[in-house]
Amino acid sequence: MKTCSSGRLLTLSDDPWLDPYRDALRRRAARAAEAAVRLADGHSTLADAAAGHEYFGLHRRGGEWIFREWAPHAAGICLVGEFSNWVPQDAFRCRRTEAPGVWELRLPGGALRHGMLYRLHVAWENGGGDRIPAYARRVVQDPHTKIFNAQVWAPPDPYVPREARPPAPAFPLIYEAHVGMAQEEEGIGSYDAFRERVLPRVVDAGYNTLQLMAVAEHPYYASFGYHVSSFFAASSRFGTPDALRRLVDAAHGAGLRVIMDLVHSHAVNNEVEGLSRFDGTPYQYFHAGPRGRHEAWDSRCFDYGKIQVLHFLLSNCRFWLDEYRFDGFRCDGVTSMLYHDHGFGPPFASYDRYFDGSVDEDALAYLTLANKLIHAIRPDAVTIAEDVSGMPGLAAPLAHGGTGFDYRLAMGIPDCWFKLARDTRDEDWNMGYLWRELTNRRQDERTVSYVECHDQSIVGSKTMIFQLIDAPMYDAMRVADRHPAVERGVALHKIIRLATLATA
């Protein structure tokens, strides 16, 4: 983080370019404060309000099961599953509560057993359909039919974490990983295999933070976990909830902090598995009409102006911190959240672009509340914004009028490195240009700099080492080989990583 000559950290108020927009900044802060008041209605704190996961969904309370769901436009909801031969039965029909849109079902303790499969049958005006509960904590896919169902998860001997969380490091050295792809064997990797085989290598390499992708359940594996369907369910492709708890606990024991990719920027289109048309309407969790669809990503866009949506998403933030002991989040797709055009409109060439009416101020208010909540629950938690727009104040402290992220991803740096490696001979690289790109950041925020990540794979690009070496990668990578392209590529790879780290 940069400082001024006195050593004091610069704040938003030190930026003279923001002077014409002070009223807009105050209005945005007031919007977040107003939403916090609405959320905290009847609760003492925002953290108390963000506990929807303890109220909604299926829970064993004392000697009975209690299930609740928010579905304001539903005409009826019935649990169906192995216990009912997959047909609606009166004993499993939910009843409306006094709370608007909330349905409830109470069952004796013997009605459900650990491991049973279930889903909801939701009826609405002129129709109905099966749905996975929005707060389901365990969702599994049948290996033969490929159908997803919720699963009762109440093991008799659940895993209890044993390790203390490591203290926050002065700065995070982050290893990004996808559990399913981080193994040499064919097939999908597991939480247990990652814990046993990959985790020690991450520790030995000197990292202090592990970032896990694709944690929340998603129906399409090739989406890299970015089309989330069940926001409160750890993906069953990689193992059980206890297996994920063991992985996080082992990482803590090895001195690693663990953060996860949090995808609150959009949701999968799927209706049975996801939230789309959950109660028969397209706008329960999402915007109505074209605004509710992300055409570029083929997904649904949350309506952050709805208090119930804020409650759902904030509760999701707290859930992962409480239930799996994650140490923070890399928030995905922040640029897409912040702008009505998802950042695909005019270039961000001046400050006017941040205040010209294109910003979704409800989304900005949500991000402010999310950071406030996360740091209230875990003051040492880390939050990282994936934003390419340069929105002022995004990674400035809440106390300084910022949105409260601890870091912003320096997304232009990998683009710079790959462009150079692809288009320019390395002996012709311009050091002045490189220095500017590696140090070009706002003075009121810290950034996470990196050479490459999963983004390059998603768009069909190469890894940096493959970009540098190319064809000799196939036949000249043995220790005994002395291929100049390989030796030069390996040396450049080390230099690129060192320069990125040193300027971060």
Note if 470 is an active site residue: no
Give the three-state DSSP class for 408.
strand
Distance CA 20, CA 36 (A): 27
Which helix (H) or strand (E) is 103 found in, with range? strand 102-108
Nearest residue to 264 via CA among 248, 243, 285, 284: 285
The neighbouring-strand residues paired with 261 are: 330
CB 354 within 8 A of CB 391: yes
CB 177 within 8 A of CB 213: yes
DSSP single-letter state for residue 149: E
| Catalytic-role residue among 327, 332, 362, 406 | 332
Note if 298 is an active site residue: no
Which helix (H) or strand (E) is 375 found in, with range? helix 361-377
- Give the contacts of 180 (CB within 8 A, at least 6 positions apart): 188, 189, 214, 221, 237, 238
Dig out the tokens for 17 from the structure.
Answer: 């370019």
CB 413 within 8 A of CB 435: no
Distance CA 425, CA 450 (A): 21
| Environment class of 33 (CB within 10 Å of its CB; exposed 0-12, middle 13-18, buried 19+) | middle
Counting every residue written for the chain, the total comes to 504
φ, ψ dihedrals at 268, nearest 5°: -65, 150
CB 393 within 8 A of CB 402: yes
The CA-CA-CA angle for residues 404, 392, 345, to 5°, reads 120
| Catalytic-role residue among 176, 360, 362, 386 | 386
Residues known to be catalytic: 332, 386
